[in-house]
Amino acid sequence: MSALAFSGAAQFAALDFWPGPIAFASFTLVALAINARHVVMGAALSPWVNRLSPGRRLLSVVLLTDANFADTQPALRQGERDLGILVGGGFIVWLTWVAGTALGTLGGAVIGEPATYGIDVVMACFFAAVVVGMTAGQTDRIGALIPVGAAVVASVGTLTVLPVGWNVIAGALVGGAVAVVRHG
């Protein structure tokens, strides 16, 4: 699954659905909501990616992750035209993700419950670091974090009220609405 469905966030969300009967409609909406950020990232990269042949364009977006997007954006803004950061970074992240999944599958029983080691917070810490990094250099850095804060409050606030995964959709909708209002 990790090799073909290259979406760590959606895979982690899928784990929340695992214990009981899977509500496929809910899971599908959560996976789409989580991955909707790729539409925005793709749009931001379109001036560079659209110059590529269809095959190279597809390879670029298939390997698109938050990490290589965050690395590619500043380079492209500074005039870099080589998308090697995007493709190479995406390939390294994919390879590491698949290897990590294999190690987890083979050695997971030895590790036991990941929460014991704090591993369960890795994704939250990663996304927080990406968001803070993306606001670096902005004149109104605190203001840029307001939609993110609103999304976090909505997501965490609805965690116990909504069905599994729907808190992510609530957070995305609230964060998006706050960003629209904030930017007119």
Residue linked to tokens 């931001």: 44
Position 11 pLDDT exceeds 80: no
**68, 77, 6: which is closest to 48 by C-alpha?**
77
Strand, coil or helix: 182: helix
Give the integer Cα–Cα distance in Å for 97 and 102. 9
Per-residue pLDDT of 108-134, as tens digits, reads 888 777 778 777 677 777 777 777 777
Summarize pLDDT for 31-83 with one digit per residue, the tens.
787 788 888 888 888 888 888 889 888 888 888 888 888 888 888 888 887 77
pTM for this model (two decimals): 0.66
Q: How confident is the model at residue 157 (pLDDT cuts 50, 70, 90)?
A: very high
Comparing C-alpha atoms, which of 140, 168, 172 is closest to residue 156? 168
Contact 121, 129 (CB under 8 A): no
